[in-house]
Homo-oligomer: A and B are copies of this chain.
Amino acid sequence: MSRRGVKFGAFVFVCQLVFLLLFAFLAKYDDTAQPKDTDPTNMVAQYYPMFQDVHVMMFIGFGFLMTFLKLYGYSAVGVNMLVAAFVLQVALIVRGFIHSDIAGGERFPINITEMLSSDFAAATVLISFGAVLGKTSPLQLLIMAIIETILAQLNEYTGVHKLHTSDIGESMYVHVFGAYFGLAVARVLYSEETEENSKEGAVYHSDIFAMIGCVFLWLYWPSFNGGATSGDEQHRAVINTYLSLAACTIVTFAISAMLDNKGRFDMVHIQNATLAGGVAVGTTADMPLEPWGAVLMGTVAAIISVVGYKYITPALTRFLKLHDTCGVHNLHGMPGVLAGIAGAVMAALSTRDKWGESLCEIFPARAGMNATIPCDADLAMTRTALEQGGYQMAALCMTLVIAIVGGALTGLLLKLPIWDAPQGDMVFDDHANWEVSDYNFPQVMGDKGRSNGETDSNTRV
């Protein structure tokens, strides 16, 4: 036993005990999962396949995408699993408190859609993890996970249930929030030492491991953007995401080659910017964006994202002392903002004639407006298209503010010297967290502390 191990272990055990008690006294199976229900709506049949796709994105997708660092693969996939499994429980409970009348004696229900929402909540934290990858201890990440999940769920609740906005693929409530929260934490935790660390680079096979994560994220993104809806909205979400990603991918290859001085592709771009199309189309995926609109979103996202990796991330580090290990600003941040703006524009252009019943389903606060056929919604609100667009923009701004302020304050808390943050040589190194097997690549054997950096051709700047 060691002081560090006992501290971490005790923290987790206390958390797990608290979770257990909260589940025991405040949770219940949803009615559709109750044994007395004789004729349940088969929610599993409806939601399970897409839920599992999203589940794979969280654990395989994020986990392996982050294995690109040559000496941080165990932590990428292992600590990713720890953080995600932790958030699944935190999110179920936090959502229970927010969405159910706990104070009124109600128990919060657990079902397959709550499981899906908890996976989305995990995505938020895992995106932030990408910004601080290699520079934080597991304990810091769990502290961050608790605070971030609470704030993100409150933000989402306000956006959806108070501002009545739409964000089917959670590009604002998950991607923008996770990215800017993580960036704020990374800014506060910034250390000059990190910049001199030669371990921040890939080896050949670590980059191929990372492609496992990239491709699974890419493949299942239509389930992420369409998993929480149904009917024609779901069908459009799937089509739009598929088209946006396809366009984004080939354009990423195009710009990556154009910006290189020898016309070659850069693995960093391929692993990340190819996915920006999924983020960028997230808010508008279920809207009648039309196929060309989806393709356009993917194209713009690819350009923003590759340019971000090539020029913006290095500039942020140099001028703002903001070190973003995975470049989440380029994959989740800017494309997420783009998605939010696109959502506002679509909302401002929405009409009952063009959108049909989807208008009321996507924007319940617009029920009855501009309609020849009235919607069935019982809300008495009658927002205009422009008003709805304004609310969408307001939700985006609120998300940015809460994420950045919340992240900065969390960063201050994480700076306390009690969380066993990795120091010096241990940054970007699995030795900080793991009993490590023999390396199977020669250039790091015997020079674990080297800092000459002569071979780091693939560092994330």
Binding site for B on A (CB under 8 A): 1-13, 15-16, 19-21, 23-24, 27-30, 32-38, 40, 42-46, 48-50, 52-53, 55-56, 59-60, 63-64, 67, 70, 73-74, 77-78, 81-82, 85-86, 88-89, 110-112, 115, 138, 201-209, 211-212, 215-216, 218-220, 223, 226, 230-236, 238-239, 242-243, 245-247, 249-251, 253-255, 257-267, 270, 274, 288, 290-292, 295-296, 299, 354-359, 420, 433-443, 445, 455-458
Contact = CB atoms under 8 A, between A and B. Distances in A.
A49 B48 CA distance: 8
A427 B42 CA distance: 50
A44 B358 CA distance: 17
27 contacts: A1-B258, A1-B261, A5-B259, A7-B263, A13-B251, A16-B250, A23-B243, A28-B291, A29-B239, A29-B288, A35-B232, A37-B232, A82-B253, A86-B246, A86-B250, A89-B295, A112-B239, A115-B238, A202-B438, A203-B439, A266-B434, A267-B437, A436-B457, A438-B455, A438-B456, A438-B457, A440-B442
Chain A to chain B: the 3 pairs with minimum beta-carbon distance, closest first: A440-B441, A5-B263, A36-B356
A163 B262 CA distance: 49
A206 B263 contact: no
A10 B207 CA distance: 27
Nearest to A242: B115
Contact of A115 (B38, B205, B239): B239
Given A77-B211, A89-B247, A267-B434, 11 more contacts: A2-B262, A30-B235, A35-B358, A37-B232, A48-B49, A49-B49, A55-B219, A59-B215, A70-B438, A73-B205, A201-B438
A27 B292 contact: yes
A254 B43 contact: no
A6 B255 CA distance: 9
Given A55-B219, A262-B5, A435-B264, A40 B440 contact: no
